[in-house]
């Protein structure tokens, strides 16, 4: 029996099953071949760029050689930065779909996941207080724990969709987190921080973890473009070219500044929502002061939309007479959006509509 769960503890063992996994592995194999080709291409370009940095002269006769060299360096390093993690994840998932095993140990203190792939073994424990929800995921996806700070932690990749659904339901019941709409709406959505205002209103903004993660990513982008600008300045001075005439230099400076501003906005949480009975207010603090967009009477909807190549997107909308705005979009699962929508509906008193009604 794959699942044993009593009132004190439980164990679940999941292994890959189903013929669909062979098709997914074949798709991942094609991506691995494409990724390997991109790695060779970007690696060769980066090698040429490094050779030019070490021993200049190969770009003689090329228009704006300094801009060409810095642009090629940025493109190749950015390409490698994007490709290498995706190739590693695809390789790990392909092997995992064939030979892995997930073992979950559930106690009152939390859940421990042990993932095995041959001699490769990883172990992770999640404390009960940190787990805000358990998401069975979309068909063919993974079982995921939604943490209070907004993290998504994979609990099981192996197993069927039915096993993921049953395990999610029984873990929620075991941890005492009821799933009826009223109880869900009473819990603060994972990944959000709630503050009470002086007038009895509520302010909701993303958790510190999510803000820091977004700020780090945008800060890395700003650093990336800033380094490119510094390299270009040094190259232009070495070759005797005019700094003010380089459009690439101006472009890099502007991009670095914009990314830095966006990183600062994410760090300080300048975007938040104000919630009152019957009213939803979108607040955003910018250079010219505070901008407030009020939706009254507010209602909400979570909708599924089919994207390109059959991809499913899930959107949370706030609605008012003559007004509508998409607040958030998720691709993996609608569960977090539904939780947030139920909470907003409870706090404002406005209705929540699910489209289709079978979303959960």
- 241 or 77, which is more confident? 77
Question: Are the CB atoms for 39 and 82 separated by under 8 Å?
Answer: no
Residue 146 lies in a domain: yes
Mean pLDDT within 25-45:
90
What pLDDT, in 10s, does the model give residues 291-332? 889 999 999 999 988 766 667 889 999 999 999 999 999 887
Instruction: For residues 123 and 14, give the distance between their C-alpha atoms in angstroms, rounded to a whole number.
Output: 15
What does DSSP assign to residue 134?
E
pLDDT for 107 beyond 80: yes
Among 226, 252, 268, identify where a domain stops.
Answer: 268
Q: What is the pLDDT of residues 165-212, one digit of tens each?
A: 999 998 998 888 877 888 888 888 999 998 887 777 889 989 999 999
* Domain annotation covers residue 15: no
176 and 113 in one domain? yes
Domain span including residue 163: 100-186
- Strand, coil or helix: 357: coil
Q: Which residue, 171, 205, 175, 179, is CA-closest to 191? A: 205
In the three-class reduction of DSSP (H, G, I as helix; E, B as strand; rest coil), residue 272 is classed as: strand
Decide the pairing of beta strands 289-295 and 299-306.
unpaired
As for how many domains the chain has, the answer is 4
Within 8 A by CB and 6+ apart from 163, the residues are 2, 3, 14
Residue 333 scores a pLDDT above 90:
no
What kind and span of H or E run contains 170? helix 161-174
pLDDT over 90 (residue 358): no
Domain end point (choices 64, 79, 99)? 99
How much is the pLDDT for 308?
66
pLDDT interval class at 60 (50, 70, 90): low
Residue 197 lies in a domain: no
Are 90 and 108 found together in one domain?
Answer: no
Does residue 49 share a domain with residue 26?
yes
Per-residue pLDDT at 56 exceeds 70: no
Question: Does residue 302 sit within a domain?
Answer: yes
Sheet arrangement for strand 352-355: 323-330, 312-320, 299-306, 352-355
- The confidence band for 20, taking pLDDT boundaries of 50, 70 and 90, is confident
Residue 325 C-beta-side C-alpha neighbours within 13 Å: 11
pTM of the model: 0.82
At 180, give phi and psi (nearest 5°).
Answer: -70, 155
Q: Is the peptide bond before 352 cis (omega within 30 degrees of 0)?
A: no
In a shared domain, residues 94 and 105: no
């Amino acid at each position: 029996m794959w699942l044993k769960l009593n009132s004190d503890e439980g164990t679940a063992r999941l292994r890959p099953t189903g013929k669909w996994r062979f098709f997914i592995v074949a798709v991942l194999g094609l991506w691995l071949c494409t990724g390997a080709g991109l790695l060779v291409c970007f690696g060769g370009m980066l090698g040429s760029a490094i050779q030019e940095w070490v021993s200049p002269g190969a770009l003689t006769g090329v228009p704006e050689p300094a801009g060409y060299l810095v642009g090629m360096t940025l493109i190749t390093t950015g390409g490698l930065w994007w490709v290498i993690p995706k190739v590693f994840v695809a390789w790990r998932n392909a092997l995992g779909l064939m030979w892995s095993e997930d073992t979950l140990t559930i106690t009152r203190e939390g859940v421990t996941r042990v993932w095995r792939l041959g001699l490769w073994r990883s172990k992770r424990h999640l404390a009960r207080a940190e787990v805000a929800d358990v998401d069975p995921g979309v068909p063919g996806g993974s079982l995921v724990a939604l943490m209070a700070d907004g993290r998504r932690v994979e609990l099981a990749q192996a197993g069927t969709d039915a096993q993921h659904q049953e395990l999610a339901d029984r873990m929620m019941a075991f941890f005492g987190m009821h799933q009826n709409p009223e109880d869900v709406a009473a819990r603060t959505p994972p990944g959000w921080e709630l503050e009470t205002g002086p007038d009895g209103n509520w302010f909701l903004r993303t958790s510190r973890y999510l803000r820091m993660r977004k700020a780090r990513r945008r800060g890395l982008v700003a650093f990336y473009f800033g380094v490119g600008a510094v390299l270009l300045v040094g190259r232009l001075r070495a070759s005797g070219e005019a700094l003010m005439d380089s459009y690439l230099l101006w472009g890099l400076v502007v991009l670095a500044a914009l990314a830095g501003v966006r990183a600062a906005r994410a760090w300080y949480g300048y975007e938040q929502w104000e919630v009152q009975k019957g009213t939803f207010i979108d607040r955003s603090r910018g250079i010219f002061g505070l901008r407030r967009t009020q939706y009254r009477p507010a209602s909400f909807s979570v909708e599924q939309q089919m994207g390109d190549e059959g991809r499913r997107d899930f959107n949370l909308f706030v609605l008012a007479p003559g007004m509508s705005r998409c607040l958030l979009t998720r691709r993996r699962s609608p569960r977090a959006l539904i939780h947030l929508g139920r909470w907003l509906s409870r706090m404002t008193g406005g209705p929540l509509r699910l489209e289709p009604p079978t979303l959960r």
